[in-house]
């Protein structure tokens, strides 16, 4: 490994039987003694990528359950109208990928007009792959920044343990759910929880939208009804906020910090937050990576 290239963004790497070549790094490159494994991969776009595998010796310990304060806990409801809605009444909008999908469709139509196997077809196939890669990168960048913010800000993050596959097979909103890539979002959240010392609890999602966050009474409501209104106690608030509070309650219960199953469901947060803060997804993408 040669770091003396005159530019921090570039290093030179030599592999046995391959030789020297230049790589452009997206983060600090460790010394050769710290590298356990080198993985070379050729993408469908024709570009090559190098992954350097290292061992992280020290990871921060998770805070003791007795030291966790209610304000340092949050529940996150994964939704359709918003990407997430937290129990703090913060909603983050879904990514607008309409332009990217329009470009992807145009490139696919161009590919269909090329002679299969020709040089022009291969060049256009790579254009299709690049358009698809841009969509994937935008979603991953968004997820990385959002999950990093959650685990750095809170000591406990509770999230639904969604089974996405049957949802994609039966829902008319399959495309938007696939764009949301909830399975990967949850995986990233759990991984970064270990990395930053945060308790990440996945909970049973069934009934979180029906159950009242104040009294625990379940009320069925169709998907287009966006307000929770409890006929038992009269509690009213945003449907997703109510679900996020229930998710937090279940997460705290699993950690041994919440109410038992036999008691009415309550949260450690105020039952109603009058001010709702909304964050546009574009702000998350353009905010700059806060670190993995």
User: What global pTM score does this model have?
Assistant: 0.76
- DSSP for residue 220: -
Instruction: Please tell me the CATH code under which domain 65-94+139-284 is placed.
Output: 3.30.420
pLDDT at 109 (0 to 100): 96
Tell me how far apart the alpha carbons of residues 180 and 213 are, in angstroms, rounded to a whole number. 26
pLDDT 10s per residue in the chain (292 long)? 888 877 777 888 888 888 888 888 887 888 888 889 989 888 888 888 888 888 877 778 888 888 899 899 999 998 777 899 999 999 998 888 899 999 999 999 999 999 999 999 999 999 999 999 999 889 999 999 999 999 999 999 999 987 655 554 555 554 555 556 788 899 999 999 998 999 999 999 888 888 898 888 888 888 788 888 888 888 889 889 999 999 999 999 999 886 544 333 333 333 334 456 777 766 776 665 444 4
Whose structure tokens read 């061992």? 55
Question: Residue 264 has what pLDDT?
Answer: 37
Q: How far from 163 is each of 75, 184, 197, 202, CA to CA, in Å? A: 18, 12, 26, 12
Cα 242–Cα 245–Cα 246 angle in degrees, nearest 5: 90
Q: What single-letter DSSP state applies at residue 65?
A: G
DSSP-derived secondary structure letter, 137: H
Position 259 scores a pLDDT of 52
Q: What whole-number distance in Å separates Cα of residue 83 and Cα of residue 93?
A: 5
Domain boundaries, the chain: 10-54, 65-94+139-284
pLDDT in the model for residue 120: 95
The reported pLDDT for the residue numbered 13 is: 86
- Cα 260–Cα 263–Cα 266 angle in degrees, nearest 5: 85
Kindly report the number of other CB atoms within 10 A of residue 240's CB atom: 27
Cβ pair 202, 250 in contact under 8 A? no
Phi, psi of 56, deg, nearest 5: -90, 115
The pLDDT of residue 58 is 73
pLDDT attached to residue 113: 95
User: What pLDDT is attached to residue 270?
Assistant: 36
284 within 8 A of 290, measured Cβ to Cβ:
no
CB-facing half-sphere around the CA of 91: CA atoms within 13 A: 16
Q: Which residues pair with 139 in a beta bridge?
A: none
CA distance 1 to 54: 14
């Amino acid at each position: 490994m040669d770091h003396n290239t005159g530019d921090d963004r570039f290093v030179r790497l030599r592999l046995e039987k391959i030789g020297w070549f230049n790589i452009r790094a997206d983060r600090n490159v460790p010394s050769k003694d710290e590298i356990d494994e080198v993985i070379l991969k050729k993408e469908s776009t024709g570009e090559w990528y190098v992954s350097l595998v290292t061992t992280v010796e020290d990871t921060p310990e998770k805070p003791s359950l007795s030291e966790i304060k209610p304000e340092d806990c949050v529940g996150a409801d994964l939704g359709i109208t918003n990407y997430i809605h937290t129990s703090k009444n913060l909603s983050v909008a879904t990514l607008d990928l309409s332009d990217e999908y329009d470009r992807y469709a145009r490139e696919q139509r161009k590919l269909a007009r090329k002679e299969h196997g020709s040089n022009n077809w291969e060049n256009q196939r790579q254009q299709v792959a690049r358009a698809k890669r841009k969509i994937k990168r935008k979603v991953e960048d968004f997820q990385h920044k959002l999950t990093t913010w959650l685990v750095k800000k809170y000591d406990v993050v509770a999230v639904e343990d969604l089974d996405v596959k049957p949802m994609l097979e039966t829902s008319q909103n399959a495309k938007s759910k696939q764009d949301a890539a909830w399975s990967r979002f949850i995986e990233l959240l759990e991984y970064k929880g270990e990395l930053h010392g945060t308790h990440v609890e996945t909970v049973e999602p069934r009934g979180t939208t029906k159950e009242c966050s104040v009294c625990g009474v379940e009320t069925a409501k169709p998907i287009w009804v966006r307000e929770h209104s409890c006929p038992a106690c009269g509690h009213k608030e945003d449907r997703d906020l109510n679900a996020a509070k229930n998710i937090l309650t279940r997460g705290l219960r699993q950690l041994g910090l919440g109410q038992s199953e036999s008691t009415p469901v309550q949260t450690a947060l105020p039952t109603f937050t009058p001010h709702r803060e909304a964050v546009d997804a574009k702000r998350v993408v353009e905010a700059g990576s806060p670190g993995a």
